[in-house]
Amino acid sequence: MLRLASRSPRRSELLARLGVDFGLLEIDVPEVRGESEPPLDYVSRVAREKAGAGLLQVVAVPGTWVLGADTEVILGDEVFGKPVDAEDAASMLQRLSGRTHTVATALWLVSAGQEQHAISISEVTFDALDDARIARYIESGEWQGKAGAYGIQGAAQEFISHLSGSHSGVMGLPLFETGRLLRQCGVIA
Protein backbone atom coordinates (compact mmCIF):
# COMPACT_ATOMS: atom_id res chain seq x y z
CA MET A 1 0.00 0.00 0.00
CA LEU A 2 1.23 3.50 -0.88
CA ARG A 3 0.35 6.65 1.07
CA LEU A 4 1.15 10.16 -0.13
CA ALA A 5 2.08 12.41 2.80
CA SER A 6 0.81 15.64 1.31
CA ARG A 7 -2.02 18.16 1.44
CA SER A 8 -1.25 19.32 -2.09
CA PRO A 9 -4.06 18.58 -4.55
CA ARG A 10 -1.51 18.90 -7.38
CA ARG A 11 0.66 16.13 -5.96
CA SER A 12 -2.40 13.83 -5.68
CA GLU A 13 -3.45 14.65 -9.22
CA LEU A 14 0.04 13.98 -10.58
CA LEU A 15 0.53 10.73 -8.64
CA ALA A 16 -2.82 9.47 -9.91
CA ARG A 17 -1.47 9.83 -13.46
CA LEU A 18 0.91 6.93 -12.72
CA GLY A 19 -2.13 4.68 -12.32
CA VAL A 20 -1.13 3.63 -8.81
CA ASP A 21 -3.59 3.15 -5.92
CA PHE A 22 -2.71 5.32 -2.95
CA GLY A 23 -4.16 6.95 0.15
CA LEU A 24 -3.38 10.33 1.67
CA LEU A 25 -1.78 11.29 4.96
CA GLU A 26 -2.13 14.82 6.33
CA ILE A 27 1.15 16.06 7.74
CA ASP A 28 2.34 19.38 9.10
CA VAL A 29 6.07 19.82 8.84
CA PRO A 30 7.60 23.26 9.51
CA GLU A 31 9.55 24.49 6.48
CA VAL A 32 12.37 26.55 7.91
CA ARG A 33 15.73 26.71 6.20
CA GLY A 34 18.79 26.66 8.44
CA GLU A 35 20.95 29.80 8.27
CA SER A 36 23.67 28.41 6.03
CA GLU A 37 21.81 25.31 4.82
CA PRO A 38 22.48 24.81 1.09
CA PRO A 39 19.23 25.02 -0.95
CA LEU A 40 19.33 21.42 -2.24
CA ASP A 41 20.11 20.05 1.23
CA TYR A 42 17.12 22.00 2.52
CA VAL A 43 14.62 20.73 -0.05
CA SER A 44 15.82 17.15 0.52
CA ARG A 45 15.62 17.45 4.29
CA VAL A 46 12.05 18.77 4.18
CA ALA A 47 10.95 15.95 1.84
CA ARG A 48 12.54 13.43 4.21
CA GLU A 49 10.79 15.03 7.21
CA LYS A 50 7.42 14.94 5.42
CA ALA A 51 7.83 11.25 4.61
CA GLY A 52 9.02 10.54 8.17
CA ALA A 53 6.02 12.37 9.67
CA GLY A 54 3.73 10.30 7.42
CA LEU A 55 5.44 7.05 8.38
CA LEU A 56 4.80 7.77 12.08
CA GLN A 57 1.06 7.68 11.31
CA VAL A 58 1.19 4.23 9.71
CA VAL A 59 3.80 2.36 11.79
CA ALA A 60 1.11 -0.15 12.73
CA VAL A 61 0.51 -1.11 9.08
CA PRO A 62 3.42 -3.24 7.88
CA GLY A 63 4.39 -3.01 4.23
CA THR A 64 3.13 0.55 3.82
CA TRP A 65 5.28 2.91 1.75
CA VAL A 66 5.02 6.64 2.39
CA LEU A 67 5.98 9.25 -0.20
CA GLY A 68 6.89 12.81 0.81
CA ALA A 69 7.93 15.65 -1.50
CA ASP A 70 9.07 19.23 -1.29
CA THR A 71 9.39 21.90 -3.96
CA GLU A 72 11.43 25.09 -3.66
CA VAL A 73 12.33 27.86 -6.10
CA ILE A 74 16.02 28.76 -5.94
CA LEU A 75 17.60 31.97 -7.21
CA GLY A 76 21.31 32.04 -6.44
CA ASP A 77 21.53 31.43 -2.71
CA GLU A 78 17.94 32.56 -2.10
CA VAL A 79 15.19 30.01 -1.61
CA PHE A 80 11.56 31.00 -2.28
CA GLY A 81 8.97 28.83 -0.60
CA LYS A 82 5.25 29.63 -0.49
CA PRO A 83 4.67 33.40 -0.17
CA VAL A 84 3.10 34.53 3.08
CA ASP A 85 0.92 37.23 1.46
CA ALA A 86 0.32 39.15 -1.79
CA GLU A 87 3.15 41.60 -1.10
CA ASP A 88 5.62 38.76 -0.54
CA ALA A 89 4.35 37.10 -3.74
CA ALA A 90 4.81 40.29 -5.78
CA SER A 91 8.32 40.71 -4.45
CA MET A 92 9.22 37.12 -5.44
CA LEU A 93 7.90 37.67 -8.97
CA GLN A 94 9.85 40.94 -9.25
CA ARG A 95 13.04 39.07 -8.35
CA LEU A 96 12.31 36.22 -10.79
CA SER A 97 11.51 38.65 -13.62
CA GLY A 98 13.85 38.45 -16.61
CA ARG A 99 16.05 35.80 -14.99
CA THR A 100 16.59 32.05 -14.92
CA HIS A 101 15.89 30.23 -11.66
CA THR A 102 16.03 26.65 -10.47
CA VAL A 103 13.05 24.62 -9.27
CA ALA A 104 13.98 21.62 -7.15
CA THR A 105 11.54 18.93 -6.08
CA ALA A 106 12.88 16.29 -3.70
CA LEU A 107 11.12 12.95 -3.21
CA TRP A 108 11.48 10.64 -0.23
CA LEU A 109 9.94 7.18 -0.18
CA VAL A 110 10.05 5.37 3.17
CA SER A 111 8.86 2.18 4.74
CA ALA A 112 9.82 0.58 8.06
CA GLY A 113 13.61 0.23 7.85
CA GLN A 114 13.91 1.25 4.18
CA GLU A 115 14.18 4.51 2.27
CA GLN A 116 14.85 5.71 -1.26
CA HIS A 117 15.08 9.25 -2.53
CA ALA A 118 15.48 11.30 -5.67
CA ILE A 119 15.57 14.91 -6.77
CA SER A 120 14.35 16.67 -9.90
CA ILE A 121 16.05 19.91 -10.87
CA SER A 122 14.69 22.20 -13.56
CA GLU A 123 15.75 25.57 -14.92
CA VAL A 124 13.00 28.08 -15.67
CA THR A 125 13.51 31.37 -17.50
CA PHE A 126 11.03 34.18 -16.95
CA ASP A 127 10.23 37.00 -19.34
CA ALA A 128 10.76 40.51 -17.99
CA LEU A 129 7.58 41.27 -16.01
CA ASP A 130 6.43 44.84 -15.54
CA ASP A 131 4.45 45.95 -12.49
CA ALA A 132 1.11 45.81 -14.32
CA ARG A 133 1.63 42.18 -15.36
CA ILE A 134 2.69 41.21 -11.84
CA ALA A 135 -0.31 43.04 -10.36
CA ARG A 136 -2.71 41.20 -12.69
CA TYR A 137 -1.25 37.86 -11.71
CA ILE A 138 -1.37 38.69 -8.00
CA GLU A 139 -5.02 39.68 -8.46
CA SER A 140 -5.79 36.21 -9.88
CA GLY A 141 -4.75 34.58 -6.59
CA GLU A 142 -2.95 31.78 -8.44
CA TRP A 143 0.25 32.48 -6.49
CA GLN A 144 -1.26 31.19 -3.26
CA GLY A 145 0.31 28.04 -1.83
CA LYS A 146 2.93 27.86 -4.58
CA ALA A 147 6.69 28.02 -4.17
CA GLY A 148 8.10 31.11 -5.88
CA ALA A 149 4.56 32.57 -6.13
CA TYR A 150 3.64 31.04 -9.48
CA GLY A 151 2.12 27.91 -10.96
CA ILE A 152 3.55 26.62 -14.23
CA GLN A 153 0.25 24.82 -14.78
CA GLY A 154 -1.78 28.06 -14.96
CA ALA A 155 -1.66 31.60 -16.29
CA ALA A 156 2.03 31.93 -15.34
CA GLN A 157 2.84 29.75 -18.34
CA GLU A 158 2.95 32.94 -20.36
CA PHE A 159 5.80 34.21 -18.16
CA ILE A 160 8.03 31.28 -19.05
CA SER A 161 10.22 31.69 -22.11
CA HIS A 162 12.19 28.51 -21.49
CA LEU A 163 11.99 25.36 -19.37
CA SER A 164 14.78 22.86 -19.14
CA GLY A 165 13.78 19.90 -17.01
CA SER A 166 10.51 18.45 -15.76
CA HIS A 167 7.12 20.16 -16.08
CA SER A 168 5.61 17.80 -13.46
CA GLY A 169 8.65 18.38 -11.24
CA VAL A 170 8.06 22.14 -11.28
CA MET A 171 4.38 21.46 -10.47
CA GLY A 172 5.41 19.49 -7.37
CA LEU A 173 5.81 15.80 -8.28
CA PRO A 174 8.25 14.77 -11.03
CA LEU A 175 6.60 11.78 -12.70
CA PHE A 176 9.75 10.29 -14.23
CA GLU A 177 11.60 10.16 -10.89
CA THR A 178 8.46 9.15 -8.96
CA GLY A 179 7.75 6.23 -11.29
CA ARG A 180 11.37 5.10 -11.08
CA LEU A 181 11.37 5.22 -7.26
CA LEU A 182 8.11 3.29 -7.03
CA ARG A 183 9.44 0.60 -9.38
CA GLN A 184 12.72 0.34 -7.43
CA CYS A 185 10.73 -0.35 -4.28
CA GLY A 186 8.34 -2.77 -5.95
CA VAL A 187 5.32 -0.52 -5.32
CA ILE A 188 4.52 -0.62 -9.03
CA ALA A 189 5.63 -3.18 -11.58
Is residue 21 among the annotated active site residues? no
Q: Binding pattern to ligand TTP, positions 31-50, x when CB under 6 A?
A: x------------------x
Residue list 100-119, contact with ligand TTP (CB under 6 A)? 103
* Site membership for ligand TTP, residue 151 (CB under 6 A): yes
- Strands 65-75, 22-25: pairing is unpaired
* Site membership for ligand TTP, residue 66 (CB under 6 A): no
For residue 54, the tally of other CB atoms under 10 A from its CB is 25
* Site membership for ligand TTP, residue 150 (CB under 6 A): yes
* Site membership for ligand TTP, residue 82 (CB under 6 A): yes
**Helices (H), ranges, 39-156:** 39-57, 86-96, 131-140
* Site membership for ligand TTP, residue 73 (CB under 6 A): yes
Cβ neighbours for 110, distance < 8 A, ≥ 6 positions apart: 48, 51, 52, 54, 55, 65, 66, 68
Question: What is the C-alpha to C-alpha distance for residues 136 and 115, in angstroms, rounded to an integer?
Answer: 43
- Interface residue with ligand TTP among 79, 89, 152, 182 (CB under 6 A) is 152
* Site membership for ligand TTP, residue 70 (CB under 6 A): yes
* Site membership for ligand TTP, residue 133 (CB under 6 A): no
Question: What is the C-alpha to C-alpha distance for residues 8 and 49, in angstroms, rounded to an integer?
Answer: 16
Nearest CA-CA partner of 143 in 156, 161, 157: 156
Kindly state the number of chain residues that form the binding site for ligand TTP, as judged by CB under 6 A: 24
- Interface residue with ligand TTP among 2, 3, 11, 93 (CB under 6 A) is 11
* Site membership for ligand TTP, residue 148 (CB under 6 A): yes
> Which residues lie across from 164 on neighbouring strands?
123
- CB-count burial class (<10 Å; 0-12, 13-18, 19+) for 3: buried
* Site membership for ligand TTP, residue 187 (CB under 6 A): no
Binning the chain into helix, strand and coil, the percentages to the nearest 5 are 40, 30, 35
- Interface residue with ligand TTP among 79, 147, 181, 182 (CB under 6 A) is 147
Q: Which chain residues interact with ligand TTP by CB under 6 A? A: 6-8, 10-11, 31, 50, 69-71, 73, 82, 103, 145-148, 150-153, 170-172
